[in-house]
Chain A
Amino acid sequence: AQSVTQLGSHVSVSEGALVLLRCNYSSSVPPYLFWYVQYPNQGLQLLLKYTSAATLVKGINGFEAEFKKSETSFHLTKPSAHMSDAAEYFCAVMASSNTGKLIFGQGTTLQVKP
C-alpha cells in the first residue's frame, strides 16, 4: 500500500526566499512520485515527476525535488519564491506497477509575502 504525508499544511515565505515543501511517502513497491500545483478554482498541474531515473528532478517554474530512498522523502524546493507561486501544492505517489492510481497528500498551502 502507498501513502503520503505532507508536513505543514501552511507554509509562508517572503518573496525571494527559499521555498521548501516537505513530503514523505510510504510504499511497498518502488514508487513513482509527483508534485502537483493547484491554483484557486482550477485543476491540478504537474510540476515534476520521479520515475526511477535521476534522483534530482527538475520541473517547471524553477521547482525541483530530490528523491531520497533512505529517508522516504521527496521534498519540493525553489531557490527564490515569486508572488505567483502562491497556491496549493500536492505530493502524490503511484505504485510503479503500472496502476495509474495516485495517492495524494493533504496538501500544503504556500503563501508568499511581499
Chain B
Amino acid sequence: DAGVTQSPTHLIKTRGQQVTLRCSPKSGHDTVSWYQQALGQGPQFIFQYYEEEERQRGNFPDRFSGHQFPNYSSELNVNALLLGDSALYLCASRGFEGDSITNTGELFFGEGSRLTVL
C-alpha cells in the first residue's frame, strides 16, 4: 500500500517565479492538507481540501492556492515566489476512523517537497 507521495522532491526557483507541487494521498483517503515547514520550525498549516473544495485555510496569503482532483490528488501552487517561501512543503492525507460523528483518523505525511527560492 503506497503511502502519501509527493513530487518533486527538490526544486530551485528564483524570486517572482511560480511553482506547482503535487501530492497523491494514501489509498482510501479523501482529505488532503498542505503544510509549510521552514528550517528549524514546526510545520504550519496552509490549507485543507475535501471533495475538491478548500475547507480550511491557515494564515497564508492568496499567493498560495491549491486544487484537489476527482481522484483525491492535490496540487499546491505558489505565485510570485519570495525568498521566505523557501521551505519543506508537506502534504498529509486523512481518512475516516471512529463513529459517524467523530473522526479520530490521523494524518499521514509524505516526505515533502523541498523548495529553495534564490
In the complex, the answer to whether B43 meets A46 with C-beta atoms within 8 Å is no
Cβ 8 A contact of B43, one of A32, A45, A100, A102: A102
Residues from chain B with Cβ under 8 Å of A114 in the complex: none
Q: How many of chain A's residues touch chain B, expressed as a range?
A: 20 to 34
Q: Write out, one digit per residue, whether chain B residues 35-53 have a CB within 8 A of any chain A CB (1) or not (0).
A: 1000011111100100000
Whether A42 is near chain B, meaning CB under 8 Å from some CB there, is yes
Q: How many residue pairs bridge A and B at CB < 8 Å?
A: 61
In the complex, the answer to whether B102 meets A99 with C-beta atoms within 8 Å is no
Whether A90 is near chain B, meaning CB under 8 Å from some CB there, is yes
Cβ 8 A contact of B102, one of A4, A46, A96, A102: A96
In the complex, the answer to whether A101 meets B48 with C-beta atoms within 8 Å is yes
Q: How many of chain B's residues touch chain A, expressed as a range?
A: 20 to 34
Whether B112 is near chain A, meaning CB under 8 Å from some CB there, is yes
- Which among B14-22, B73-81, B103-111 touches the partner chain? B103-111
Seen from chain B, the residues whose Cβ lies within 8 Å of a Cβ on chain A are 4, 31, 33, 35, 40-45, 48, 56, 58, 90, 92, 94, 98, 101-104, 106-112
